[in-house]
Structure 1
Amino acid sequence: MSDVTVITGGAGGMGVETAKIVGRDHTVVLCDVRQDRLDRASATLGELGISATTVNCDVTDRLAVDELFGAAQELGTVTAVVHTAGVSPAMGDAEYVMRTNAIGTLNVNEVFYATVGDGGAIVNVASMAAHILPEELIPVSAFPQALTDEAAFLAATLAGCDIAGEQQRSGIAYAISKNFVKWYSSSQAERFNGRGLRIVSVSPGSVDTEMGRLEEAGGAGALVADAAVPRWGRPEEMAELFAFCVSDKAGYLTGTDILNDGGVVASIRERARAGSNP
């Protein structure tokens, strides 16, 4: 049977670019919540000779994620998952952002853990925002509740979004939710390894995609301008890293986060250090 790679958010810029790479030697399954975008992504890949199976799936629905993996297993052996599905602050309120990014990640990873066999690997897309929010503002103590009590987890993490006023709640929710992605990908590594699975997260900076550009006026543009590499990241640059992380070449890589942000966080930290030491 052929090896299968599942790409959530597969109709987005990073998802399609990842499919172009892994589709060279894997069967590809793309999932997204918008069928029109899935149809366009499938057509784009088809022009390159890559046949992709598309599944309309909301990752916040555990049953839908179960069905996604079931569909993928009918095509072959699922060996890799690239979880890019997520939303930015401009796309909804704090609860929507938290539920999509955090609960969506939990669902995809837990079903991956339950169904994929020895040697499988998953890469979760976090964000440089997970590295920027001050640690004292991150309700890490509430994160384990996601595994046992979803309602309590959401209540605690959404309460943590109240620190900066109503207009900033979605942005804080985004940073906290991506911190959760980063935390989960580290904290669950030993458990995953018990089943022969690898788990890692990647934290992109500002990427030149439709979703990325939604945040340009909200501060992403200024961060790019002040970065060590003062330009937007390209989706294909992220895709190359995602594909490597789930490949056999990265067999020793697990339980960590890779910050791929053009030096944004490094620049922020150095300016803060220099400013405190005139």
Structure 2
Amino acid sequence: MTAVSLITGGAGGMGVASAKVVGRDRAVVLADVRKERLDAAAAELAEHGISATAVHCDVTDRDAVGRLFEAVTQVGPLHSVIHTAGVSPSMGDAEYVMRTNAIGTLNVDEEFFAHAGEGAAIVNVASMAAHLMPAEMIPSAAFPLALSDIDAFMAATLQACDIAGPEARSGLAYAISKSFVRWFSSAQAERFNGKGLRIVSVSPGSVDTEMGRLEEQAGAGALVADAAVPRWGKPEEMAELLAFCVSDKAGYLTGTDILNDGGVVASMTERARVAQSV
């Protein structure tokens, strides 16, 4: 049977772009919470000669994610997961953002750990926001709670969002949730390697997708002008990196985050240093 790549957030810009890359060599399973968009994505891939199995799934529902992985095994042996499912600050309140991005990642990664065989890999999509958030504002001590007490994890991380006014809570939840994704992808590397699995994360900058454009006037979108490469990133550029991370060519890559932001963090860091030295 042909090995399978599972792509969560499969109806989104990065998800579809990633499917076009990995679909050259492997069977593809697309998962998304938006059923109509999911069917449209599968139809678009079919036009490119890629046959994708579409599975409607809410990544915040652990049982649904378990059923998703069971569906994957019916298609073929699991080779990799590209976990792009997530939401931006403009898409909901702090609780919704935290649960989708952080708990959604936990659910997908833990089911991957339970179902994948030796040699499989998963790449999680974090964000440059995780690199821009001051360390003292990240409740990293609460992150391990996600593995033992999700309610306590949610309470602690949402409390950390109260440092600013109500209008800023979703943005803080986004940065903290993506910091969790980055942390998890590093902290669990040794455990995953115990089963012969790899786990990494990629932190995109401002990407020209529907979700990315929601933040055009704020958040990541407002930082495009600060990039060393002052433009929006292309979904295809992210897809090539995501596909590489789970490919057999990247067999030594695990437990780390790759920042792919067009140089936003580098430029802002240097500008801050220069400003302080004046």
Q: TM-score range by the shorter chain?
A: over 0.9
Q: Which position in structure 2 is the counterpart of 1:268?
A: 268
Q: Which consecutive unaligned segments of at least 5 residues does structure 1 have? A: none
Say if 2:172 is the partner of 1:188.
no
Quote the offset at 1:41 in angstroms. Answer: 0.3
1:61-76 matches, cutoff 5 A:
61-76=61-76
1:174 match = 174
RMSD, matched Cα: 0.6
Offset, 1:79: 1.1
SS of corresponding position for 1:216: coil
Counterpart CA distance in 1 for 2:136 and 2:56 is 38
Query: Unmatched 5+ residue regions in structure 2?
Result: none
Aligned residue for 2:23? 23
Structure 1 residues 1-278: aligned runs within 5 Å: 1-278=1-278
Q: How many aligned positions are there? A: 278
* Secondary structure, counterpart of 2:218 in structure 1: helix
CA distance in 2, matches of 1:190, 1:34: 34
**Which amino acid counterpart does residue 32 of structure 1 have in structure 2?**
D
Secondary structure of residue in 1 paired with 2:50 = coil
Q: Deviations over 1:221-267 (max 9, x none)?
A: 33101210000000000000000000000000000000000000011
Once the two structures are superposed, residues 14-59 of structure 1 have per-residue CA deviations (whole angstroms, 9 ceiling, x without a partner) of 0000000100111100000011101110111000110000000000
SS in 2 for 1:217: coil
Residue deviations 1:62-120 (CA, integer Å, cap 9, x gap):
00000000001001100100000000000000000000000000000000001100000
Q: Give the distance between the partners of 2:72 and 2:257, measured in 1 at CA.
A: 26
Instruction: State the TM-score, normalizing by the size of structure 1.
Output: 0.99
Give the Cα separation in 2 of the matches to 1:170 and 1:214.
13
Q: Which runs of 4+ in 1 moved over 2 A?
A: 219-222
Q: Deviations over 1:97-145 (max 9, x none)?
A: 0000000000000000011000000000000000001000000000000
- Map Cα deviations across residues 182-235 of structure 1 (whole Å, 9 max, x no partner): 000000000000000000000000000000000011143331012100000000
Give the TM-score normalised by structure 2.
0.99
- Deviation per CA, 1:133-178: give whole Å up to 9, x if none: 1000000000000000000000000000011110000000000000
Q: 1:247 & 1:219 partners in 2: Cα distance?
A: 31
SS at match of 1:29: strand
Report the residue type matching 1:215 in the other structure: E
* Percent of residue pairs identical: 74
* SS of 2:75 mapped into structure 1: coil
Distance 1:92 1:127 in 2: 17
User: Aligned AA for 1:110?
Assistant: E
